[in-house]
Structure 1
Amino acid sequence: MWMLAAGIALAALAVGLVYRYLDWKAERGWAPHEPYQVIVSFEDGVTDDERKRMIRAAGCTVMDSNVHLGTYTLRSSRKMRRVLEHFNSMQGIHYAEPNYLYEATYIPDDPFLPDYQYGPQVIQAPEAWDVTVSRPDVVIAILDTGVHASHPDLATKLTAGYNFVENNEMPIDRNGHGTHVAGIAAAATDNGLGIAGIAPNTRLLPVKVLGDNGTGNLNQVANGIIYAVNSGAQIINLSLGSAASAVTLQNAVRFAADRGVILVGAAGNNGVSVPNYPAAYSEVIAVASTTMHDVRSSFSNYGMWVDVAAPGDRILSTYLGGNYAYLSGTSMAAPHVSGVAALLVSQGRSQAEARAAIQQTADPVPGTGEWWVYGRVNAAHAVRYRTAQEQQG
């Protein structure tokens, strides 16, 4: 499910923490702010009783106050524009404004990130890292050709895994595909070398279910899924597939899903609308591939059985021998989404909550509603996503 392009590139980047106000476009024209929260300052001479009456009339409750600034931070059940219009139309109000967000912008020092990794940039992973870089207790299982354990961008991230091809505890990668997938999802980040993974602090569980030629059988894949669940993985990346559905595979997928595991699958590289399994199962988040220009990769499978898209065309990641290489395929798109899922799990999101965040915040790039349902995944929006109930609560 992948095509090898060539190459490796070198670059350098000075690093640091840069504090700036996020100027990305926000919903309904407002700059980023806490949902349903407004800060109000009252004019001098407004009594406590008048203030309380005005707050009640606006449908708000007091969350906090600052005596030095003379401000009240209020929670409202009303839309931001309406509550601001309400306050600003009242006598005795000095000003009312959204509870804006100001963020610390994290720029890792991995030299390939700024110039050679368009994937994290496109899905706004650096902005997501201002919210969370995940945690070491979050584990992504990489069901693939194994993982190169001594790669300097992966060695500190790996847990003990299993080889279902040779039935031993050595999931050695002699193909390169699994190592490449693993790096996209969670390569060591801010370590002064190589690339940045989407979920920097997440650990990786290597499960070899594909042989050195890149193929594996149903039994190996199904056993690998069960093993990953029982080993505590919260996310399973499945950058593999077939046009053939199988009861055994579907039962393994359901076993994982019923236990709260998030499954992410590659849509396939045949450039057709024929479903690819296990991605096409409803329990799996099916991922198509896009280019750096946010259009569908010509090789990517498509259809309304596909949930989201992610960068998968000429993706730089870890490779055999401690090297880096460009590969293309929906196999490369899927671990972008697995990485975002790991960021969400680190926030305490359930399987359903993480899936909703990934789907509902995807950017509606060309092809949305035709090639895939929701759009191209957006990590920054996903980690800030809240349901209507969460916003009101």
Structure 2
Amino acid sequence: MVAILDTGISQHITEHCGCLSGAFNAITGGKNAKDENGHGSGLAALLVGDASVGQTGIAPDAKILAVRVTDRHGWSSSESLVTGIDWAVAHGATVVNISLGSQTPDETLNKHIKAAMKRGVTVVAAAGDGGDSFAYFPAALDGVVAAVAGTNAGKILGDSNYPDKGLRVSVENKPSFRLSAAGKLTKEGPGKTSQAAIVLSGLVALSRAEVSNCHATFDTQKFVKKYSVTQRDAKIVPASPLFPNCGKRKA
């Protein structure tokens, strides 16, 4: 189950997919995770979208948790992120997607993310879009998988941060979508690390399901080793199963 910590998710995205397993507003403490910005809904479409919203998701069968951690302008706080992470973990999330970032470290956030990872949760966060050789927080934290944006040609996007250390994975480019107030999904242009993060979260969810079917334990380090790009100009590794022969194995 993937928790999307963002601006919320509109019912226009979730009403047909049967994918929503829970919703939470980490700012108010209530269940209303209505998206007044459109960013989180665009991410959800990339993950679980179908023909009804005009975008097929990378993991359409995934279950999701909608966790609103920002105001209507897309700004979050350490407190809302911590509250959102704790709620998501308590409600069964195995993957936490954070398509947000800051250049300022936060020890409290670090503590709660470490607690989530100790419970076996994979945390994926956007590396940032400054073209820097380091990731923004929380992607820069130890154990967090930093999502690096790629191009359609399979190279690292020039605007994408590319950290020189840590768990970094680049995925092929997906468009940036935003949901309008009228419920229409509109394409804003090429995706950046926010979109890379949700695609990466989808790959993690698919790989977790795959590994579970093989009666094995998901290993974030192994996942990162398979998909990681060792230098900015390297070719991105296309997505493929961790256990391609799983279906052929005897139970």
| Residues 14-50 of structure 1, C-alpha deviations (whole Å, 9 max, x = no match) | xxxxxxxxxxxxxxxxxxxxxxxxxxxxxxxxxxxxx
How far apart, in 2, do the equivalents of 1:150 and 1:369 lie? 39
SS at match of 2:160: coil
Number of aligned residue pairs: 239
Distance of aligned partners of 1:344 and 1:252 in 2 relative to their CA distance in 1, 3 Å threshold: same
2:183 pairs with 1:322: yes
- One-letter amino acid of the structure 2 residue matched with residue 379 of structure 1: A
Distance of aligned partners of 1:220 and 1:185 in 2 relative to their CA distance in 1, 3 Å threshold: same
Larger proportion of strand: 1
C-alpha displacement at 1:193, in angstroms?
A: 5.9
SS at match of 2:207: helix
Which residue of 1 is the match for residue 157 of structure 2? 297
What stretches of structure 1 of length at least 5 have no aligned partner?
A: 1-138
C-alpha displacement at 1:196, in angstroms?
A: 1.2
8 A contact 1:266–1:288 mirrored in 2 = yes
2:64 pairs with 1:204: yes
Q: 2:195 aligns with which of 332, 335, 349?
A: 332
Query: Could you tell me the percent identity over the aligned residues?
Result: 28
TM-score (norm 2): 0.85
How far apart, in 1, do the equivalents of 2:89 and 2:157 lie? 32
- One-letter amino acid of the structure 1 residue matched with residue 183 of structure 2: G
SS at match of 1:382: coil
| 1:1-393 to 2 correspondences below 5 Å | 139-151=1-13, 156-188=18-50, 194-305=54-165, 307-312=168-173, 315=175, 317=177, 319-320=179-180, 321-327=182-188, 328-347=191-210, 348=212, 349-352=216-219, 354-357=220-223, 359-362=224-227, 368-371=229-232, 376-384=236-244
8 A contact 1:165–1:208 mirrored in 2 = yes
8 A contact 1:153–1:195 mirrored in 2 = no
8 A contact 2:101–2:137 mirrored in 1 = yes
How far apart, in 1, do the equivalents of 2:103 and 2:52 lie? 41
C-alpha displacement at 1:311, in angstroms?
A: 2.9
8 A contact 1:153–1:183 mirrored in 2 = no
SS at match of 1:309: strand
SS at match of 1:256: helix
8 A contact 1:226–1:252 mirrored in 2 = yes
Task: Flag the structure with larger Rg.
Answer: 1
What stretches of structure 2 of length at least 5 have no aligned partner?
A: none
- 273-282 vs 256-265, greater mean Cα deviation: 273-282
C-alpha displacement at 1:155, in angstroms?
A: 5.2
SS at match of 2:12: coil
How far apart, in 2, do the equivalents of 1:254 and 1:375 lie? 31
TM-score (norm 1): 0.56
How far apart, in 2, do the equivalents of 1:177 and 1:311 lie? 19
